[in-house]
Structures are given as C-alpha cells and as structure tokens.
Amino acid sequence: MVTFKGQPVTLAGTPLKVGDKMPDFTLVGNALETVSLGDTAGVRLFLAVPSLDTAVCDLEVRTFNQKVGQLGAVSVYTVSMDLPFAQKRWCAAAGIEAVKTLSDFRYRSFGQATGTLMTDIGLLARAVFVVNSAGDITYVEYVPEVGNPPDYEAAYAAVKAAQ
C-alpha cells in the first residue's frame, strides 16, 4: 500500500517486480520530443517522483545527480508529471546535468506501465526501478509514503550489481 500524506492512494497499472521486463512507455523530453524505452540503453535507473518542485523530490534528484558519477556506466532518468518547461527550468536552477528529466504529463503511460500513477491526485508515486542492459528489472522500490525519500543505499547497490 502507498500513502500520500498518510492517506491511502489508488495506483493505476500493475506494480512491477524484480525479474519483469521493463515495459515500454511514451514520455516527453525537455525539448518536447517523444521518448520511449527504446530510446534508452544500458543500465538504467528510473526515478518516479510526484514533482521536482517539492523538497523531497528536489533532494532525491540532487542526490542521484551527485552520485551518478560514482555509479559507473548508468543512465539516470527522473519521471514526473511536471511540464517539460518546468523540468528544464528546475534542472538549470539546480545544476542538474547527470540526470535526465522526462514528463509523463501528456500520455501518463509511464505511470500506467509501472503502477505509479496516483489516480486520485494525478501525480506519480515515488518509486525506483533499476533496469539492466537486457531490459530486465533488477531492483524495485515503491516508497510506502510518497513524502519519504527512497532507500538510496539499496538503489546504489542495485545499480552496481546490474553492471
């Protein structure tokens, strides 16, 4: 069960588990280009967050941005419902260069595909997915309370193990 400010939320889609193939999705990049799973490769870390303009999401993305160089050959993607313009502005203001932000505002397909779309409020629940170069999910964390950060150390270990 996932909660938002202590209240249970309804998640659309099917929750993913270790061993599943990462499902395809359609997202919007900062230049309004369409991005799908096929546009990514190698070991990937996907972070689903409610909004970059909140303290916990801000800290999470900044933390992964700082650590990505220590994680080796991995691509890090943060997915939220924020508009691409807002994501681009936020990244510029926060000095985010190693993490790519993608928006699910138009299609909501990432939220549906990963079981992170909070239908009650139209945002994504906080979750972490590590995907190896074969497209297999090797680590999943659905953070039980959306307002809490993920388990950074477990995510780092999972990325290193996937390489």
For 124-148, how does the pLDDT look when each residue is reduced to its tens digit (9 = 90+)? Answer: 999 999 999 999 999 999 999 999 9
Mean pLDDT over 12-26 rounds to 97
Tell me the angle at which helices 152-162 and 55-67 cross, rounded to the nearest 10 degrees.
Answer: 40
Percent of the chain whose predicted confidence (pLDDT) is above 90:
95
C-alpha 138/C-alpha 154 separation (Å) is 12
Residue 72 has pLDDT above 90, yes or no: no
Full set of structural domains in the chain with CATH: 3-162 (3.40.30.10)
Does the model's pTM come out above 0.85? Answer: yes
Tell me if residue 91 is catalytic: no
C-alpha 67/C-alpha 104 separation (Å) is 24
What is residue 71's predicted lDDT score, i.e. its pLDDT? 85
* Nearest Cα residue to 80 out of 107, 55, 102, 112: 102
Name the one residue in this structure whose structure tokens are 């801000």: 58
- Confidence band of 69 (pLDDT split at 50, 70, 90): confident
Sheet holding 11-12, edge to edge: 11-12, 117-118, 123-124
Name the active-site residue from 48, 56, 57, 162.
57
Residue 51 has pLDDT above 90, yes or no: yes
What is residue 70's predicted lDDT score, i.e. its pLDDT? 85
Rg of the chain, C-alpha, whole Å? 14
Count, residues in the chain:
163
- Confidence band of 25 (pLDDT split at 50, 70, 90): very high
Which token pair is 69? 């160089």
C-alpha 99/C-alpha 56 separation (Å) is 16
Give the pLDDT confidence of 78-119 residue by residue, as tens digits. 999 999 999 999 999 999 999 999 999 999 999 999 999 999
Which token pair is 160? 């290193």
Which token pair is 22? 């990462």
C-alpha 66/C-alpha 115 separation (Å) is 27
